[in-house]
Amino acid sequence: MFDIDSIFSTDGALSRHITGFRTRSQQLEMAQAIASTIAKHRILVAEAGTGTGKTLAYLVPALLAGGKVIISTGTKTLQDQLFSRDIPTVRAALKIPVTVALLKGRANYICHYHLEGSLQDTHLSFVNRDEIQYLQQIERYANNSKNGDKSGLSEVPENAAIWQQVTSTRDSCLGSECPSYKKCFVMEARKQALAADIVVVNHHLFFADVMLRDEGLSELLPACNTVIFDEAHQLPETASLFFGESISTGQLLDLARDAKAEAIQAAGDFVELPNAIAAMEKAARDLRLTIVEDNTRLSLAAIRQNTGFTDALGNLLEKLTTLAKLLENQAERSEGLENCWQRTTKHFYLIQRWRDETEMQGYVRWIEIYNQALQLNATPLSIAEIFQKQMITSPRAWIFTSATLSVKKDFTHYNEEMGLATAQTACWESPFNFAEQALLYVPVGLPEPQHKTYTDQVVQAALPVLRASRGRAFFLCTSLRAMQRVYELLQAADEFAFPLLLQGQGSRSYMLERFRELNNAILIGSQSFWEGVDVRGEALSLVIIDKLPFAPPDDPVLAARIEKINSEGRNAFMEYQLPRAVINLKQGAGRLIRDEADRGVLMICDPRLTTKAYGKQIWQSLPPMKRTRDLAEVENFFNAGEQS
């Protein structure tokens, strides 16, 4: 029998196997709580501050418990890290022969059927030289790879257009009817996952499967004893996405592309079909053109005033009806045509449901506009009941962990949102010495955030701090517009020679690599850099946050949820908006101190932290740093760091 105390002790299995391992009381207590939760098939919501070592705290009991474990992460990066590094390390330290599988969504695996189609297609829409070269590389990789995971082919950029042509979606997968079914990479990954003791997935995949019975997890869940969600603060957002419904013009254009290719190959003599495909494709493009805005979200009320949109939606449904009839007529001529017919029917059904008031009780309907596409969305006002139903199917342990789940150690907001009424909760502080290592600075004299010159004044207040820290900063903004303005103002600032990196100038991993290399850079970012980013050491000594991260109140889903809570006589701001902002702020603030030796300043520019009654609740939820409003104290802090 394994003894958790001895495994985590100074001369235990972890210490002997992991260089630099240190015994931490928080980590041991967390591991014990998780072991107990697994043994009793309970639910645990556990917040563990930065540096607790929560990965080891849940991996050790999970591997020791026996039975099947699903570990779900917020990002594919953490998923890969767990599979390639963390689990093999713990497995070797404990000398336990557990089997591990990595399962990603189907878009991560090359599809033999679609690859074959692309190689044969003489009408390719991507005939530039790069894409043709990529296609040849993908063909070679598919012939030699064991798993077909596109992350193993770094020569082809992750965002290359060709990937869409050589991977399948839930819509375009032919399933067991596929001629390449026996050698399918997705099926092979599922098979391994079914056989493994530990399966590593990500939240998108977990919920896609739970709701859509899509990605091979539906067979995994009944057999599983324990589900562990790491980065669990992301779950409400992800669950809302998957417990809702959506259909986009992009999916319709993909359908048109696939139907064209299938019609040429299997129904070249049926002249009506290409015309019907072209008519549906045009109707989908016309629908997108009825809205002039770009990259925005619109409520149903806002869109109802647009008669052009309503007419275009009706026209699209007509064209889908015509196309569905013709495809049904030809479906038996190939598996591909059969698939296109089923997709057309399903897309028609989703659009019609979205349009129908009575079908969508308890959901908020809204539209997201992208550069090239438009998406119709229906999101549940509450996810708690839906998630509860998934959890009570059979007894197993459920563990939710993150560095940010509570407001002042109170988990009410998170538990109510996720429907975890019976969950036990626990909170472990970071072992880092924040009182010595960090300083919270709120500058004086800034206007309220809605003031038209707010961002300009924030930059003026930040300049002396950036000079004192000699760059080495993250400047985190709550909107893309503010981020762009900060970049322009810093570029134009006098006697300011630090390198500036702006989110979007490269991939996130490239930007972080440059930031670390330069050692005196200022990285200006928005949501992408608020979480999941780890820069240890002096390269990051200052985190500036432009304003408290309240979600924009005109967001259609947020507005509907606020209205629902207030209509029940409750206070949506205190119960919903404030806790969400606190959890988000804690994520951003968490970028600063990542190691026992790190030192730094957290500068929050928003005056509401001191002028509003709720401000105290916010800063009391942050790690216990010393607080100041005096610029001289900030400069002294950095000078002391230079001398030590």
pLDDT-based confidence at residue 212 (cuts at 50, 70, 90):
low
Query: Per-residue pLDDT for 2 more than 50?
Result: yes
Give one word for 48, left, alpha or beta, with left for phi > 0 and alpha for psi -120 to 50: beta
Q: What pLDDT score does 414 carry?
A: 97
Q: What pLDDT score does 356 carry?
A: 87
Residue 611: how many other CB atoms lie within 10 Å: 9
- Span 258-265, average pLDDT: 89
My answer on whether 271 and 283 are in the same domain is yes
Out of 109-118, 150-159, 432-441, 547-556, least confident range: 150-159
My answer on whether 484 and 419 are in the same domain is no
Q: What pLDDT score does 393 carry?
A: 73
**Considering its fold, how many domains does the chain have in total?**
4
Structure-token pair, residue 49: 């501050």
Q: Domain holding 315: CATH number?
A: 1.20.1440
Cα 595 to the chain's mean position, in Å? 24
- Span 488-510, average pLDDT: 91
Of 22, 20, 23, which Cα lies nearest the Cα of 5?
23
**What HEC string does 548-595 produce?**
CCCCCCCCHHHHHHHHHHHHCCCCHHHHHHHHHHHHHHHHHHCCCCCC
Q: What pLDDT digit, counting tens, does each position of 377-434 carry?
A: 999 999 999 888 878 777 899 999 999 999 999 999 999 999 999 999 999 999 999 9
Query: Per-residue pLDDT for 608 more than 90?
Result: yes
My answer on whether 421 and 550 are in the same domain is no
Mean pLDDT of the chain: 91
Q: What pLDDT digit, counting tens, does each position of 179-210 carry?
A: 999 999 999 998 999 899 999 999 988 888 76
Structural domain including 199 reads 4-105+187-242+382-428
Highest mean pLDDT among 165-169, 436-440, 638-642: 436-440
My answer on whether 332 and 396 are in the same domain is no
pLDDT-based confidence at residue 249 (cuts at 50, 70, 90):
very high
Q: Domain holding 440: CATH number?
A: 3.40.50.300
Helix (H/G/I), strand (E/B), else coil: 442: coil
My answer on whether 219 and 136 are in the same domain is no
- Domain final position from 130, 156, 181: 181
Q: What pLDDT score does 1 carry?
A: 46
Query: Per-residue pLDDT for 610 more than 50?
Result: yes
Give, in degrees to the nearest 5, the angle at Cα 277 between 275 and 279. Answer: 70
Of 174, 10, 181, 50, which Cα lies nearest the Cα of 591?
50
- Domain final position from 380, 400, 420: 380
Tokens 């967390």 identify what position?
30
My answer on whether 375 and 388 are in the same domain is no
My answer on whether 409 and 547 are in the same domain is no
Helix (H/G/I), strand (E/B), else coil: 484: helix
Of 120, 107, 132, 118, which Cα lies nearest the Cα of 185?
107
Q: How many CA atoms lie within 13 A of 185 on its CB side?
A: 27
Structure-token pair, residue 234: 């992301």
My answer on whether 256 and 349 are in the same domain is yes
Query: Per-residue pLDDT for 175 more than 90?
Result: no
Query: Per-residue pLDDT for 373 more than 70?
Result: yes
My answer on whether 331 and 468 are in the same domain is no
My answer on whether 510 and 577 are in the same domain is yes
Out of 50-59, 353-362, 460-469, 622-631, least confident range: 353-362
pLDDT-based confidence at residue 128 (cuts at 50, 70, 90):
confident
Query: Per-residue pLDDT for 122 more than 70?
Result: no
The percentage of the chain sitting over the pLDDT mark of 90, rounded to a whole number, equals: 71
Of 479, 447, 474, 470, which Cα lies nearest the Cα of 460?
447
For residues 398 and 227, is the Cβ–Cβ distance under 8 A?
yes
> Which residues are paired to 427 by β-bridges?
47
Pairing mode of beta strands 600-604, 542-545:
parallel
My answer on whether 262 and 329 are in the same domain is yes
For residues 181 and 84, is the Cβ–Cβ distance under 8 A?
no
Highest mean pLDDT among 120-134, 163-177, 450-464, 528-542: 450-464
- Span 293-305, average pLDDT: 89
pLDDT-based confidence at residue 269 (cuts at 50, 70, 90):
confident
My answer on whether 444 and 587 are in the same domain is yes
CA gap 546, 548 in Å, rounded: 7
- Domain final position from 359, 380, 401: 380
The kind and range of the H/E element at 435 are helix 434-437
